[in-house]
Amino acid sequence: MTVGVLALQGGFREHAAMLARLGRASVEVRGPEALDGLEALIIPGGESTTIARLIPRYGLREPLRDFCAGGRPVWGTCAGAILLAREVDALDRPGLAAMDIAVARNAFGRQVDSFEAGVELAGVGGGPFRAIFIRAPRIASAGKGVEALGRLADGSIVAARQGALLATAFHPELGDDPRLHEYFLSLGGVNARPAIG
Ligand code: GLN
């Protein structure tokens, strides 16, 4: 499976490194044509305002929205989750509005308030995931078709899935744990599964 990583700004190299560790080829996406042969796409963390400004400049807004609607797995981490969200508190331009979640940017404070927490993730076995939060968003609400996969002790949703769309408020590409990347890659099978009945 070839996985694309949106490479306009932010932590795309770290995702590519984690994928390589799992033996997966990845391509850096900087234009619509790069989306063609992909089986899955990661939108990395970084600065959501910057990425949202660059997406239309690279002709990617409609192609990315189409990709998200097409059923192939798409994973937004941190700023990437902000870009996937249907509704964002304080983003000064449109994101992709592809996933039925509302997020609040910088919900846990500033850069100095970055933290790590063990998060139990539904569908990811092997104990709590050591999640790294850097000026992270909070998933403030999620629509009916969205499953909350992980929460902080205070109840904040920090990982969610809607079909093959995955959003995490934290940075699984940092650190040493490939389980969430493996989980994401397994979502390809979600689409392949025939409808029941
Ligand atoms: N605070 C950033 C934003 O709103 C996201 C931070 C991150 O991706 N680590 O875009």
For every residue of 58-104, DSSP letters joined together read TT-HHHHHHHHHTTS-EEEETHHHHHHEEEEET-SS-----EEEEEE
pLDDT at 197: 40
Ligand 1 in reach of 51 Cβ (< 6 A): no
pLDDT at 129: 98
Ligand 1 in reach of 47 Cβ (< 6 A): yes
R_g of the chain computed on alpha carbons: 15
Q: Is 116 a catalytic residue?
A: no
Q: Is 68 a catalytic residue?
A: no
pLDDT at 193: 44
In tens, the pLDDT along 54-92 reads: 999 999 999 999 999 999 999 999 999 999 999 999 899
Q: How far apart are CA 71 and CA 107, in angstroms?
A: 29
User: Whose CA is closest to atom 5 on ligand 1?
Assistant: 79
Digitized pLDDT (tens) for each residue of the chain, 197 residues in all: 699 999 999 999 999 999 999 999 999 999 999 999 999 999 999 999 999 999 999 999 999 999 999 999 999 999 999 999 999 998 999 999 999 999 999 999 876 779 999 999 999 999 999 999 999 999 999 999 999 999 999 999 999 999 999 999 999 999 999 999 999 999 987 544 444 44
Ligand 1 in reach of 172 Cβ (< 6 A): no
Mutation to probe ligand 1, out of 42, 103, 110, 134 (largest number of atoms < 8 A from CB):
134
At CA 74, angle to CA 70 and CA 80, rounded to 5? 130
Ligand 1 in reach of 134 Cβ (< 6 A): yes
pLDDT at 109: 80
Give the domain 3-189 fold: Rossmann fold (3.40.50)
Instruction: For residue 84, give both structure tokens.
Output: 């996937």
Q: How far apart are CA 64 and CA 96, in angstroms?
A: 7
pLDDT at 196: 46
